[in-house]
Chains A and B, each alone.
Chain A
Amino acid sequence: MTTATPARTAAPTKGLASRLLHNAHAQFLVFGLLLCLLPSLGSALGLKASTLQTLGFVLIYSIAALGLNLLLGYSGLVSLGTSGFMGLGAYLAAYLQDDLGLGFWCGVLAAVVIPTVVGLLVGVVSLRIRGIYLAIVTLCVSEILLKTFEQLEWFTKGTAGKQSHYPSLFGFQTGRASMFVVCAVALVLVMMLTHNTVHGQLGRALHAMRSSEVAARAMGVNILKYKLFAFALATAYAGLAGALYLFFLKSSYPSTWNLFLSLNVIAMVVVGGLRSIFGTVAGAFIIFAVPELVLKKLPVIGDVSGLPYIFSGILIILVIMFFPQGMKGVADLVRRPFQRRPASGKGAPA
């Protein structure tokens, strides 16, 4: 994902500040630092607790959206299972921390590993067939998981909802503000991991796969392996996001993990811009925080329940229809292959 020009192009003669500014990891750290300061700064500035809560969810959804962005942006595949895998992560985290008493870290680990294993199985079945099937199969898996959340009462407490607690970390009992910081740290780590993933050998292979599968195969790129990798990573991120969701909200209900959540995560990716790390976070903010913080406050239409859905849906359609140039990544995906060459030709030095 394009976050900054490669560090290589920054001439060594330039100052340290300028080089830091061009280093992607430094950017992520600065961004994370600002986020970590937000809870304490926010209370001084009169930031409402509910606003902080909303922003916390933006961070959590950003993690899930970064995974989906990797999948959609590099393999051109859509997953409709994000919410199911997030839910699985949330319930696993609650089960391990609260029911088994194994603590925060075991909960998070299980929330990442088990959905990834499930995702790998699903991916092996559907990716061998045709790309378009992944959306259908993940839609179905998500429905199956939703049913599981409703029925498996020993695990999820069914529709009554699973209650949890703020975890204790390194002997420190977290609260809402400190969980926000935990989410911010997790997001920055995920951003760094994603940046590393899309650069270097791994990233080149992903780029080649997106650009031309035929050429990528001739260069020794195992397409199935890399698509599976992208899907597994998307699933792992969703699982992590689910665990953080649970610890941040301290509860989970089956109805949360419905199709709309998956669609909203797709909207975050599309609106934020494909293959853009900061764009994804911005997309998560637009899709989740804007309806919560702005639309709901509007007179008359603010009370309408379906408004956030319409907002996301129309944004998806408008971005794909009208702003492919504005968001370079969307342009590359939306245009047909034969449009690619002339399109990529413009704007580059002759």
Chain B
Amino acid sequence: MDQVLQPLLRSLETGSVYALAALGIIIVWRTSLVMHFAQGSMGMFSGTAVAYVLNHWGLPLWQAVLVGVVVAIALGFLVDFAVIRRLKRATAVGKEIITLGLIMVFLGAAPIIFGTDPMLLPKFIPSGDVSLGGANLSYNGILNISVGVLIALGLFFVLQKTKIGLAIRATASSDQTARLMGIPTRRVTLMSWALAGVLGMLAAVMIAPTVTVTPTFMNTVQVAALFACVLGGFQTFYGPVIGAYLIAVAANFLKLYVSSVWGEQLMYLLILVFLLFRPNGLIGKTYLQKV
């Protein structure tokens, strides 16, 4: 039993990390039509800021995370103000390449600002675990899973039930129409970049205790989050979240039962095969090209 339950619980933990990162990507995609390749590196940057504040200023973790939130929001604002909103006339490809440029900027800037020494980021809850039907789950794991699930649910609630959510959804469905209806689409876009930044930072802080904080520590998360969006489809907000958890579960089980080295790679190949049959993802609608 614990042979299934144990990896499943662990997958939920990584799944939450992927889900937060994927939510950031999909929110930016839906409001600015930008494929956010820099989600991982922006998360890495603000996550490294958290580690830096913790290691060098000696602040407690929760205060360091608050600093991280501020950094993430500031970065999101900066990117939108300085670059994205000046690109209204650019095509999707131009914007996509801009986010690739952002990756390089953040990866280059992180070691300059925070130093080149690898840093460690502790867990929120250092020790202790519960036993669940023969499987163990650490308190920190429970926290991570709940943060992921609660934030996802909270976001869906905001998107579906509040005025801000309506504004975001309206912007997502048609930027022009939304503007005509008096929705401040620029503010919506600005907020979505900041929100994506915070989500990326949280994902970074959650995954950091299992790795060392180096400029590349979010690469796996970035790839997984992008694939979560591909798997779940780009048309809904919840599709990528489902995709994220599925990816985490699949990767964990393949690593455990097929190949510890190639498990993750195998999973990506499986997703590609799946896409051959369902090109628009799990929860995707087909497009009708207008001629």
Contact = CB atoms under 8 A, between A and B. Distances in A.
A and B touch in the complex (CB under 8 A): yes
Interface of A: 72, 76-78, 80, 125-126, 128-130, 132-133, 135-137, 139-140, 143-144, 147, 151, 214, 258-260, 263-264, 266-267, 270, 304-317, 320-321, 333-337, 339
Contacts of B83: 317, 321
Most buried by B among A140, A264, A339: A140
A78 B116 CA distance: 31
Nearest to A330: B94
A163 to B, nearest CB: 24
A317 B268 contact: no
B89 A339 contact: yes
Given A317-B98, A317-B101, A139 B109 contact: no
Contacts of B93: 72, 76-78, 333-334
B89 A320 contact: no
A87 B105 CA distance: 24
A139 B111 CA distance: 23
Interface of B: 35, 37, 83, 86-87, 89-94, 96-98, 100-112, 116, 215-216, 219, 223, 226-227, 230, 261-262, 265, 268-269, 272-273, 275-276, 279-280, 289, 291
A260 B107 contact: yes
Ordered nearest first, which 5 A-B pairs have the shortest CB separation?
A313-B104, A309-B108, A316-B101, A306-B108, A310-B108
A259 B110 contact: no
Given A129-B279, A313-B108, A334 B94 contact: yes
B108 A308 contact: yes
Contact of A132 (B35, B87, B98, B103): B35
Given A130-B279, A133-B230, 15 more contacts: A76-B93, A77-B93, A80-B100, A125-B276, A129-B280, A136-B226, A136-B227, A143-B265, A266-B97, A304-B112, A309-B104, A309-B105, A310-B108, A313-B104, A316-B97
Contacts, number: 143
Given A136-B226, A321-B87, A305 B94 contact: no
A214 B104 contact: no
Given A78-B96, A128-B276, A214-B291, A316 B35 contact: no
The secondary structure that dominates the B interface is: helix
Nearest to B110: A306
Contact of A270 (B86, B97, B275): B97
Nearest to B229: A136
Given A310-B105, A310-B109, A333 B226 contact: no
Given A304-B112, A321-B83, A335-B89, A132 B96 contact: yes
Contacts of A259: 103, 219
B83 to A, nearest CB: 6
6 contacts: A133-B230, A136-B230, A305-B112, A310-B104, A334-B93, A335-B91
B104 A320 contact: no
Most buried by A among B87, B93, B116: B93
Contact of B100 (A132, A266, A333): A266
Contact of B101 (A132, A136, A267): A267
Nearest to A218: B291
Contacts of A143: 219, 223, 265, 268
A147 B261 CA distance: 9
B220 to A, nearest CB: 8
A221 to B, nearest CB: 15
A317 B112 contact: no
A267 B94 contact: no
A159 to B, nearest CB: 14
B103 A313 contact: yes
B116 A312 contact: no
Contacts of B35: 132, 135-136
Given A320-B90, A321-B87, A335-B91, A307 B108 contact: yes
Contacts of A316: 97-98, 100-101, 104
B38 to A, nearest CB: 9
Contact of B92 (A132, A258, A306, A313): A132
Most buried by B among A80, A139, A309: A309
Contacts of A129: 275, 279-280
Contacts of A335: 89-91
A161 B132 CA distance: 45
Contact of B226 (A128, A139, A264): A139
A258 to B, nearest CB: 8
Contacts of A133: 230, 275
Contacts of B86: 321
